[in-house]
Amino acid sequence: MSLKQFLQFKLSQKLSPQQIQLMKLIQLPTQAFEQRLKQELEENPALDTGKESETSEDEFDEFDNSETDYDDNETIEADDINIDEYLSDDEIPEYRTQANNYSADDEDKTMPYAAGTSFTQHLINQLNTFRLTEQEEEIAYFLVGSVDESGYIRRSLADITDDLAFTQNVYTTEDEVEKVLNIVHLLDPAGVGARNLQECLSIQLHRKEQHPDVELATTIIDKGFEQFTKKHYKKLMQKFNIDEAQLKDAIEEVERLNPKPGGSYAGNNKIVEHIVPDFAIKIVDGELELTLNGRNAPELHVSREYNNMLKGYKETKEKSRAQKDAVMFIKQKLDAAKWFIEAVRQRQQTLFVTMSSIMHYQKEYFLSGDERNLRPMILKDIADEIEMDVSTISRVANSKYVDTPYGTKLIKEFFSESMTNDQGEEVSTREIKKILETVIEEESKKKPLTDEALSKILKEKGYPIARRTVAKYREQLDIPVARLRKEL
């Protein structure tokens, strides 16, 4: 096989830095956009906020299109500046790397968070109240360190024993580890340190005040857990010689338990995230009114001070080399500011036009709030209507929220596939899921409907859905199978 060299010509399309910057801004939700805007204002002094007279930008435009003469027949024009040198494909122009004022840890300095006690430390604090030998204490700390966010230890005693030997230089036996584990089971919240769900529920039941219902629930969990999880209630009544009322009371005791004991504590140490709607839709005199969150439309303009610097340089007769370098730097800053202002303006326009199209497409839903009125809608439908690319619509819909009279909704939830009903009309799959959810809510819990029965009901309502499709929609709605929906 011989190696050959040859020329190949092909056409390729490359996005400009401005286009890349615009796409990155469009996909940002309101809070992230505010952070990006704040960062740009800090890094580019040629960009200002607030009201400014229109003459500022006019003066810049007038000067920007002119030539700047230098001594010794040397001229620098706007076209002579290599844009790639100060606006690369990433969103940080090269000139900004000259200042080390935007390191990764800056956010930690400007946005401090209240620190709380971690779940592990909470357990260790309780361990310190027990009298343990030095080795038992090391084993206990290791076990507590192995507890996950849900409150479980999902490792076998053999693995824990080996790890203690290899990593902590603690040589022990599985029996001793289990003995210390029983101490960990005494910690709060009840059920922490369990190795599986059965042990977790059993620990909680043994710590409750004992009465007939709790005792029966404990027996069912300890000796009939498999039948309990599969809801084989008749088998449980036969096995423990009890009636339906007794079994129902015992099940109610189990339902009051916490299957994830760690979750009740772990949530206290997490930062609460607040959703800021990017749009708001109101119904005014029977018509829909769309507004863009004002935080998405800041007042930006090019700095008058930087314009004056360029104007002063133009009027100067004698120009040094340092002044020439300075004016090139200033022009870079001003160009970056103009590009950013234009990108923000295009972002506002794109967001508003896209959401307006979605609102009118789903007008019946926004007027009624009934999800059954949602029309089938895919990204291409909106893209064709407003003559934009599908990727742009995806960026707008993916992480943006809209405040409606029926709550704050994620925009991408309005998109759904379609299917044809028995009358030949296209309906949204969201509509079918809503009807399926309603049918399941109204079913008899003593005899839940199977997927086959649900399929027949939907066909009677005019939606010819196969059993497998019903199962898929049911899983997407996070609804269990009929057997697991059964209640006494």
**Fold observed for domain 417-488:** Arc Repressor Mutant, subunit A (1.10.10)
Question: What tens digit of pLDDT does each residue of 2-21 get?
Answer: 677 878 777 665 666 667 77
**Spatial CA neighbour of 68 closest among 317, 329, 432, 404:** 317
Q: Which two tokens stand for residue 352?
A: 């508003």
* pLDDT classification of 214: cutoffs 50, 70, 90: confident
Q: What angle do CA 99, 100, 102 make, to 5 degrees?
A: 110
Q: Which two tokens stand for residue 395?
A: 């960026």
Question: What tens digit of pLDDT does each residue of 300-316 get?
Answer: 777 777 767 767 766 66
Strand pairing partners for 418? 428
Alpha-carbon gap, residue 101 to 122, rounded angstroms: 37
Predicted local confidence at residue 421, as pLDDT: 67
Question: What tens digit of pLDDT does each residue of 45-87 get?
Answer: 877 776 544 434 443 343 343 333 333 333 334 344 343 443 3
Predicted local confidence at residue 329, as pLDDT: 78
Ranges 40-49, 87-96, 292-301: which has the least confidence = 87-96
Question: What tens digit of pLDDT does each residue of 330-384 get?
Answer: 777 778 888 888 888 888 888 899 999 999 988 888 888 887 788 888 888 898 8
Residue intervals of the chain classified under CATH 1.10.10.60 are 417-488
Question: What tens digit of pLDDT does each residue of 153-205 get?
Answer: 888 888 888 888 888 888 888 888 888 888 888 888 888 888 888 888 888 88
* pLDDT classification of 417: cutoffs 50, 70, 90: confident
